[in-house]
Amino acid sequence: MTDPAPLKARTLAVQAMGTGDPATKAVVPPVHVSTTYIRDPDNQYRSGYIYGRPDNATVRQAEAVIAALEGAPQALLFGSGVAASTAVVLALDRPTHIVASQIMYWAFRKWLASATRFGHRIDFVDSSDLDAMRAAVKPGETGLVYIETPGNPLWTITDIAAVSEIAHKAGAAVCVDSTVATPVFTRPLSLGADIVMHSASKYLNGHSDVIAGALATAREDDYWSRIQAVRAQHGAILGPFEAWLLLRGLRTLDTRVRAQTESAILLSTWLGKHPAIAQVFYPGRHDHPGHAVAAKQMAGGYGAMLSIRVKGGEQAAIGAAARVQLWKRATSLGGVESLIEHRASVEGPDTPCPADLLRLSVGLEDAEDLYADLDRALRAAN
């Protein structure tokens, strides 16, 4: 008798890896909130749990689903995406040269720029330009290449396989922020990355009610052990109730992301023809400079994030955002509700983001309703 075929990632997520409650047979797993655990009579901890700061059973359950989705032997959950990203840097075994994407989440870019206080040298590079990456990565000097693709908020596409090859030839580790692509469309570890990072507050959870971060590794090596130690020593683990909510959100990840992406494709087409819009940034568009690479590494879809530049300039963009009714003027992304934001106002004077740009996180509303709302706001602003 042959073994059954391996379950697809979507099935594993919906089933939460088959985890329920063995004591009550409940379909939904319980929340484990205990901070401490009873020792065995001989003073051992054979249950595998000692204290709540480094470990938790509910956290482990959510980590197992994320690891399965990314094809990783192990994943770790953190109290935020920034906590996960900074752990990757804090776990480096010595001061080193770091090459990072020029276009990335602004809060981590700002923190990374300050990592010189740990003795690191930081270069921000257009990671979509492979020649620029080859010039920036120094054999024997560069210890980490940190890329974000698609890169927020211009949705720059970086060739993960090519950059991983460049980095590994130089002896550097590769971490990929794949928050926007999600494991539904991209699995960076299969393309050569060493670590994949997610702001799990976004699509993995999907309901705008959890702040969380996740890392998944290609291998359980010394570097990964140091990352585990950083989380434990810094008390950066995700709380059990947040992990339970994340586990709930993960069950619908595939369905949510695919539906949101279908709407994003429609909106990118319609908005590209709008008289008030100068440019649309979306990797699924053929005029996007990274479209060919995105088509290669984003299997089945291009995500649900896009940005638009408004012809009237900064004030016209801000005015349009002020007039929407369905779209919510709020930061973040990846929830079921559609969000709109003037990014330059958030990121400040050193932002690479154009002043006339609005970032759109497409939710699960009807695409025609979302377009009609934007159309009214754009026409009224001009």
Q: Give catalytic residue positions.
A: 53, 105, 177, 202
Q: 362 vs 258, 306, 340, 381, CA distance in Å?
A: 11, 8, 9, 21
Q: Are 16 and 65 in contact (CB under 8 A)?
A: yes
Tell me the two tokens of residue 375. Answer: 């159309």
H-helix segments, the chain: 9-14, 57-70, 81-90, 106-113, 130-136, 160-169, 182-185, 222-234, 240-250, 253-272, 291-297, 314-323, 343-347, 367-380
Q: Are 94 and 222 in contact (CB under 8 A)?
A: no
Place of tokens 């408004």: 310
Helix/strand number for the chain, H first, E second: 14, 12
Q: Are 127 and 155 in contact (CB under 8 A)?
A: no
Residue 245, SS3 per DSSP = helix
Q: Are 338 and 373 in contact (CB under 8 A)?
A: no
Residues 6+ apart with CB under 8 A from 271: 277, 280, 306, 308, 371, 374
CA atoms of 361 and 263, how far apart (whole Å)? 11
